Copies of this chain bind each other. A is one copy, B any other.
């Protein structure tokens, strides 16, 4: 049993640094840190947490995620108490260039994932726990510190239900019920029974404790370690600002650092402090996952004469490539028979996780898996990826390796109508720092780009089409991120049509029609929208003086604006064919015409220009 007296000293040290660092910074969240100080001290130094701090990436380390990321002063102080951060470093909190940012980021060695947008940590934990239980088959546990206010986020309940469904008994939520949100009391205050009932109803094992009573805290972690087949939620009654009487449990102190005079009063209250005390963490067993040896994937063998949808190619690509990329794991949100992730699932069921209709959690879990070394492919309809934009946004601030696939792009999905049409997804993914945005037009390029995505380190978005489309490329064609394909080119070109996906086929059809009238157009397959092939686009623009972009996407933020940015400074007229009318149900052909992104519209536009 741990030395309670020593743990109390460590908790006091942590309170000290949480207060001092935020006062030095002039901002931060000391009261949110103080409420969880005992919970976290008990976890890291009371014997439950098994972590080799000299090897933070060790595959069998327990994981600690601060879903309530604003408690970063607590987070950094814990690692100071572990001997890994100095007092001098603590004083750089929130300063420009310091790894101790306002909310935890990978700039700080021990951050598992960037947090700070509330309600996302539990999903990341689900990913890490799925990895431990089903993929790496290692005994590490994942602990997630949760705030009570953020339990209002639906994403947390997605994580809850999926964790219970997958029997993640290696996942422990630590719920810091301090009853005060940012602007006032939470909906339930200190009514722990509300949380207990909900947590139980969602299939978790609740353990209710006084969050400032170290013996109870330690017992809770021990109990948690003995629960089988269910995740555990430690529901801890705490006081925001605990340890400093004039802020303890008082509204109005969220996100406020103490002023210097207030700090002095607070430190007086804390009393005598052993500033040198440090805690010991248990070491994990030195276990590593068994890694599958890569074997070369089968090559492509598409026949010229059989159209295949790029969404189908996504599925066959994953299924074919997995042996060569054995870190791949695939997630889908109840639409795998539409995205064709099911093709992968049928052959490699142990590497596939059904995430049900809960896209936010799916993305968070994908992040968690990728942070544990997996190459996470995450799919649903392009339109429904917007459900998880905040999770996608936050994933860019971690060292993530997630490949998103959005199917059913554009109005060309047809009769299902607007709710199912992805029309803003290219814009969404283009905003992600250093993202790769790919939009293959045929099954060959789709499979090749899935492989490029698998090889690439970072966030990739692959947009796929519902309709079967003709094979354009040879099975041995090479596609690279940042490349494009010039499919038609002639010195007589009056314009260059830049398209991708479904509209690339429209452009090729327009080419054939116009040729009959003796009019030639260049056609470029812009399968890599980001990074974009500036060189090829520039050359074509200069040669023809006229660029027409055609996209099954809204006008803003998509292919046209990407091309405009790429052609900055090039003296060329750039025209935009895109979805400008209210989308609706109809046959794909009718809708492409209605939205003026069809072969007819391309022909019309070219003739207009002439």
Contact = CB atoms under 8 A, between A and B. Distances in A.
Interface in A11-47: 25, 27-28
Interface stretch (A168-176, A419-427, A467-475, A492-500): A419-427
A107 B417 CA distance: 12
A348 interface: no
B336 A116 contact: no
A337 interface: yes
Copy number in the complex reads: 2
Contact of A153 (B202, B357, B416): B357
Nearest to A98: B585
Interface in A575-589: 575-576, 582-587
The listed residue with most B CB atoms (<10 A of its CB), out of A161, A200, A430, A556, is A556
A338 B182 contact: yes
A361 B119 CA distance: 14
Interface in A64-119: 69, 94-98, 101-103, 105, 107, 114-119
A358 B105 contact: no
A569 interface: yes
A484 interface: no
Contact of A594 (B96, B427, B556): B96
B557 A427 contact: yes
A514 to B, nearest CB: 22
Interface in A115-163: 115-119, 149-150, 152-158, 161
Interface in A403-433: 415-420, 423-424, 427-428, 430-433
Contacts of A201: 194, 197-198, 200-202
Given A96-B590, A105-B417, A181-B356, 8 more contacts: A96-B585, A117-B387, A150-B357, A194-B201, A197-B200, A389-B390, A427-B431, A564-B565
Interface of A: 25, 27-28, 69, 94-98, 101-103, 105, 107, 114-119, 149-150, 152-158, 161, 165, 181-184, 186-187, 194, 197-198, 200-202, 334-338, 342, 354, 356-361, 383-384, 386-387, 389-390, 393-394, 397, 415-420, 423-424, 427-428, 430-433, 530, 554-557, 560-562, 564-565, 568-569, 571, 573-576, 582-587, 590-591, 594
